[in-house]
Amino acid sequence: MAYKLVKNNRTLTGSIRLVGSKSEGNRVLIIRSLAKRKFSIDNLSEAKDTVVLLEALDIIKRIKYPAETQTIDVGDTGTAMRFLTAFLAIQNGNFILTGSDRMMHRPIGILVDALKKLGADITYSDRKGFPPLLIKGKPLTNNSVEINGSVSSQFISSLLLVAPTLQGGLTLKLNGQLVSQPYLSMTLKIMEHFGVKHSWEENSLFVPQQKYKSKSFSVGADWSAASYWYEMAAFADEVDLFIEGLNGDYLQGDSIASTIFTQFGVITTFEENGIRLTKKQALPESFEFDFADCPDLAQTLAVTCAGLNVPAKLSGLGNLSIKETDRLYALDNELLRLGFKVGIQNNSELIIQKSSKSCRRNYPVKTYDDHRMAMAFAPLAMLSGEITIENPEVVQKSYPEFWNDLQKIGFEIL
């Protein structure tokens, strides 16, 4: 299956409402399952990532015979795999935590090693360091551990979310250069919303033993999803787009998109119920940015720079290889196929050079089972008039309404 996107003009006007942030929602779902009293969650995303976690937590809650082994299959949902690893380690029961074939190739050894040092009973059913995991839930006996923070902030967030429920709390010593630090800050701010305090001194994080306070939570609109509309605005000649639900209360690190895209002439105005994008004609002579703190924006900016023929150096991409696909390879491969001049440097940088060629319209974009590949390349239809995206259903993972929203704003889907 493939979608051919057609856009006969470079006008971006209208109004859309974005999905709730799966990053916020997934953290709150874990907290609700750990809290003594349940609470309401408003604007919870209907994205596949959140639905899978919600269903898994519901299965765990309904277990009547803890001695029986329960299989939890999270498919390709990396957040669920990581958050549930720590969550299941302290539950009363026996579990097999598994997922898709791609999930079996996404490393989780750093998190498992940390949990085992805390006293968890976790073994590998196949390859060491990778799912599936055999987990025998029990109280953890230790409350201090070191963990490498240079691979995935979700490993640390997984531990932090269960930390207040542990006897004596939890002290985490963070080794290495932290990646995606805004996501770690998001975790701590959401925990604070539910009354959990922490201290962070240099490379040491401490969460005392305490109880989550049950109180309602409203999930903010997804800034990662908003980035594709910023990309379209950068490609457009005329822009007046209202995006409902976004605000200036930045829990999400990807809100930095509103700052980054000013270099490409995209102006953000905060209004009562959302933001309005407008445009002035401006392009940087070149673009450089370190995406270590916001890796989910890398594909968006890579395609933006290639499409606008802006030479660029995108760095801090070393952990893209452990995402839904090897995103650095996938970006390089598809941009090359479309006729752009790109290359990988030091296994962590993408270099984009000026090119005299325009985007090849007759090469369908492969998505590699990655939602962000589909959404980052789709806006190229504004420049070339049309673009074909293979396996468009992958957007269900984070932004199920993406294609419908494109149609609302004037794209045709054939």
Any idea which residues carry the catalytic annotation? 296
> How far does CA 144 lie from the centroid of its chain?
28
The answer to whether the peptide bond before residue 132 is cis (omega within 30 degrees of 0) is: yes
User: Exposed e or buried b for every residue in 246-267, given b needs 16+ CB within 10 A?
Assistant: beeebbbbbbbbbebbebbbbe
Helix (H) or strand (E) holding 41: strand 41-42
Residue 200 makes CB contacts below 8 A (sequence gap 6+) with 188, 206
> Residue ranges of the alpha helices (H) in 147-296?
153-162, 181-193, 223-235, 257-260
Tokens of 28: 């709150």
**Whole-angstrom distance, CA of residue 271 vs CA of residue 31:** 31
CB 74 within 8 A of CB 56: yes
The rounded distance, in Å, linking the Cα atoms of 104 and 406 is 33
At how many degrees (to 10) do helices 327-337 and 298-307 cross?
20
**Spatial contact of 117 and 142, defined as CB atoms under 8 Å apart:** yes
Say if residues 74 and 84 touch (Cβ distance below 8 Å): yes
**Residue type at 248?**
G
8 Å CB contact between 31 and 54 = no
Q: What are phi and psi of 333, to 5 degrees?
A: -65, -50
Q: Which residues contact 316 (CB under 8 A, 6 or more apart)?
A: 179, 290, 291, 292, 293, 295, 348
Residues 6+ apart with CB under 8 A from 235: 10, 304, 307, 308, 379, 380, 382, 383
